[in-house]
Structure 1
Amino acid sequence: MADTPLGNPAVVGLAGFGTTTLLLQFHNLGLCGTGVVFCCALAFGGFAQLLAGLQEFKAGNNFGYSAFSSYGAFWIALALIFMVLDFQGAKDTWIGAHLKIGAGDLGWFLVAYTVYTAVLWVGSFAIHTAMVFTFTTLILGFIGLDLEILAGMSSIKTLVALDLILCALGAFYMMAHVIFLQVFGRDVLPVGKPWVKKEAPASLRGAVPAK
């Protein structure tokens, strides 16, 4: 059992992230309703990504553990926010009476994730070019959403949606890279080299070993 090969959890995490991000942008472009986004956010973007994050934890990958778990939680939280917004003002319901979301609250939720994404964006420079591309488009998308919601810049909605579609495609590309590498036995879709070299190996828990 100890020698049984394990799958790479990134293929599920990236698929969940990419698919749900893509669906939300289809909604933002007026191509689909919120129902399918809500369901996918809970099941694929949320639950499946959380599972992938837990598997990355077992593999000792802090970047993947943090990213998949945190963005999985993001999609679950966003789905719940949609649900609470739908209950706003509803009579004889606990949600409608006690859980209030103001006009700018969603914007500040996104700002918090923008700050978090900035940390992973910096970390992506030590992984590979495809990761840098995906996180660059992601942080630009978050900044765009912040401006759209908090500053009322509705004119950039389409531009932000197109940027995040590129982000979703970047996630799909990395997923395909991992899958094709195994099934074809060669690097069909190269992801590029790290932009920043690692100085020294560090502990998974954050302490750099003494030299």
Structure 2
Amino acid sequence: MSENVGTATVIVDKTANAAPLGFTGLGLAAVLLSLSYIGVYPVESMIVSMAIFLGGFAQVFAGIMCWKKGDVFAGTAFSAFGLFWFSLAGLLIMPAIGWAEASSGTAMAAYLFIWGVYTFVMLIVTMKIGIRALQFVFVTLFLLFILLAVVNATGSTGLLVIAGYVGLVMGLGALYTALGMVMNEIHGKTVIPL
């Protein structure tokens, strides 16, 4: 929307904060995937669907909207992690439909480790941002990626359950962050500390 003020045109940004959408996508997809690591149910179509539509699309949409608002951190983080979820779904779907061989444990360990490295660098950036809830999500996400890399390298089922609980805590932290942002914005004050 634009308004003419004298001879200048002022553009007013009326778009909402997209970060709660991104954290919601991350949180819901992570909680449900982590429950499969804990052993509540196997990885099946519900996980793939959540990876694509909530983990993937919700975060990529949030990333694009944040990028448009000039938030380079949120734009980059949500877009990258949304594409992670798409790639994870691809790793599950492509072998099932015969498009590619299933990845080896070593390949999956490398995949998860490099995402852990990326997450660690983004975690360092969150220290400058200073939002504790955001830092918590990135610390637990980093731990999750490293634990899952070790699980895939070693085949340790006990460590997979621990990773599941770390992922569950991370996902719940992301949901807390999303809902806190929404509540605080709706109330116009800090109702839920972030």
Q: What TM-score comes out, normalization by structure 1 length?
A: 0.81
1:89-104 equivalences in 2 (<5 Å): 90=98, 95-96=99-100, 99=101, 101-104=103-106
Q: 1:25 and 2:34 equivalent? A: yes
Cα pair 2:34 2:165 within 8 Å, conserved: yes
Tell me what 2:136 maps to. 133
Tell me what 2:123 maps to. 121
Q: The residue matched to 1:186 in structure 2 has which SS?
A: coil
Distance 1:152 1:173 in 2: 32
Tell me what 2:91 maps to. 81
Larger CA deviation: 177-186 vs 140-149: 177-186
Cα pair 2:19 2:74 within 8 Å, conserved: yes
Instruction: Point out the structure with the larger helix share.
Output: 2
CA RMSD for the aligned pairs? Answer: 1.5
Instruction: Point out the structure with the larger strand share.
Output: 2
Larger CA deviation: 140-149 vs 176-185: 176-185
Tell me what 1:9 maps to. 18
Q: 1:185 and 2:188 equivalent? A: yes
Q: Kindly indicate whether structure 1 or structure 2 has the higher relative contact order, using CA contacts under 8 Å at least 6 residues apart.
A: 2
Distance 1:125 1:10 in 2: 17
Percent of pairs identical after alignment?
28
Q: What are the superposed Cα offsets for residues 59-99 of structure 1, whole Å, 9 maximum, x if unpaired?
A: 11111011100110000000010012324xx5xxxx15xx5
* 1:4, distance to aligned residue in structure 2 (A): 5.6
How many residues align? The count is 183
Distance 1:162 1:155 in 2: 11
Say if 1:21 and 1:160 are closer, same or farther in 2 by CA, change over 3 A: same
Q: Which among 150, 173, 177 is matched to residue 174 of structure 1?
A: 177
Distance 1:162 1:100 in 2: 25
Q: Which among 61, 66, 70 is matched to residue 71 of structure 2?
A: 61
Cα pair 1:181 1:188 within 8 Å, conserved: yes
* 1:183, distance to aligned residue in structure 2 (A): 1.8
- Stretches of structure 2 that go unaligned for 5 or more consecutive residues are 3-11
Distance 2:171 2:104 in 1: 29
Q: The residue matched to 1:73 in structure 2 has which SS?
A: helix
Distance 2:39 2:151 in 1: 16
Distance 1:101 1:133 in 2: 30
Say if 1:103 and 1:125 are closer, same or farther in 2 by CA, change over 3 A: same
- Amino acid in the other structure paired with 1:144: L
- Amino acid in the other structure paired with 2:165: L
- Amino acid in the other structure paired with 1:83: I
Q: What are the superposed Cα offsets for residues 121-177 of structure 1, whole Å, 9 maximum, x if unpaired?
A: 111111211111111111111111011111233221111111111111111111112
